[in-house]
Amino acid sequence: MILGIETSCDETAAAVVTAGGEILSSVVASQADLHARFGGVVPEIASRRHLELVAPVIDEALSRARATLDDVELVGVTAGPGLIGALLVGLAAAKAIAWGRGLPLAPVNHLHGHVASLYLQPLDLEPPFRCLLASGGHTLLLDVQGRAWDDVGVLGTTLDDAAGEAFDKGARLLGLGYPGGAEIDRLAREGDPAAYDFPVARVAGLDFSFSGLKTALLYAVRDLAPAELEARRADLAASYQRAIVRALVERLEAVGPERLAIVGGVAANSELRAALPDAVAAPLALCTDNAAMIASAARYTSAVGSPEYLALDAYASAL
Ligand code: KG4
Ligand code: ZN
């Protein structure tokens, strides 16, 4: 059994996964409520909350898997990218468990984790495929040749905001809660996606850009009186979501007929999933941050033995 631990942002998560990719348990404690009144994740608050939650969440994951630490053969933990203080809490917990039990430790790249959400049962997707990884922190078009992170190449990335960030900032402009992606998704169902003609940025190559779109929404909202905004909110959400989805889908069409997969928080978006009927989408519960995907990636990450892993450090940025 592999114990996965994830604390890179505002979810404290632990999971138990078998070497064959079966999820025995996956526990996610979201801190979203704690950060909502600030309209985004406050790093220091996140670190402190991880510290309170990490041990009970690991206990809960083991207990739901009907396992104890005696059953664990490998500890996989997110080492980066993410908020450095938040990452250090998970990494320290993983080191302590590995040290106490004489277990190897696999330092997992969070982005590899998102891709590895596709390698869990029953999906168990085999490379090669092209993969859109769209989350709050990243928007990447990946060429996945094998299951190890070294076998993944980057074809395109965002030049400014990530797709999830565009959803979150748009939600904030519309006066919706944080995090905003799921809120826009829900509200968009009641609105007319053709009501506003928001721009889809056309940048060279396979890169993405979302900052112009956000500015267009800002202008549209600024021109409305409060009562008008209330009346047009669903139309704005639907039109804004349509523009983000169109930007993503256009890029994916440009990479050609290869097999395509979508992962990350934005892959939970219902319109994006519907717009890509032939793509393999990560299961909904595995789109947003979780530790099952980290345990999954740990299977394809070189483990570090004792005591070398004690020197491992967290890292904030990705590429
Ligand atoms: O992968 P994730 O949980 O965390 C990062 O690694 O960043 O992604 C979180 C992002 C947030 O920006 C959130 O608004 C977005 O995923 N998200 C969605 C939906 N659910 C979550 N965006 C659009 N539609 C959704 N249904
Ligand atoms: Zn993530």
Specify the ligand 1 atom closest to the Cα of 270: 26
Q: Is 181 touching ligand 1 by the criterion CB < 6 Å? A: yes
Q: Is 80 touching ligand 1 by the criterion CB < 6 Å? A: no
Question: 255: CA distance to ligand 1 center in Å?
Answer: 23
Q: Is 113 touching ligand 1 by the criterion CB < 6 Å? A: no
Specify the ligand 1 atom closest to the Cα of 135: 8
Show pLDDT as tens, one digit a residue, over the chain (319 residues).
999 999 999 999 999 999 999 999 999 999 988 988 888 889 999 999 999 999 999 999 999 999 999 999 999 999 999 999 999 999 999 999 999 999 999 999 999 999 999 999 999 999 999 999 999 999 999 999 999 999 999 999 999 999 999 999 999 999 998 889 999 999 999 999 999 999 888 888 899 999 999 999 999 999 999 999 999 999 999 999 999 999 999 999 888 778 999 999 999 999 999 999 999 999 999 999 999 999 999 999 999 999 999 999 999 997 5
128-281 is classed CATH 3.30.420.40: yes
Q: Is 271 touching ligand 1 by the criterion CB < 6 Å? A: no
Specify the ligand 1 atom closest to the Cα of 186: 26
Q: Are 132 and 267 in contact (CB under 8 A)?
A: yes
Q: Which ligand is nearest to the CA of 108?
A: 2
Q: Using most ligand atoms within 8 A of CB, pick from 131, 167, 244 the residue to mutate for ligand 1.
A: 167
CATH 3.30.420.40 maps onto the chain at: 2-118+287-311, 128-281
Identify the architecture of domain 2-118+287-311 in CATH: 2-Layer Sandwich (3.30)
Specify the ligand 1 atom closest to the Cα of 264: 1
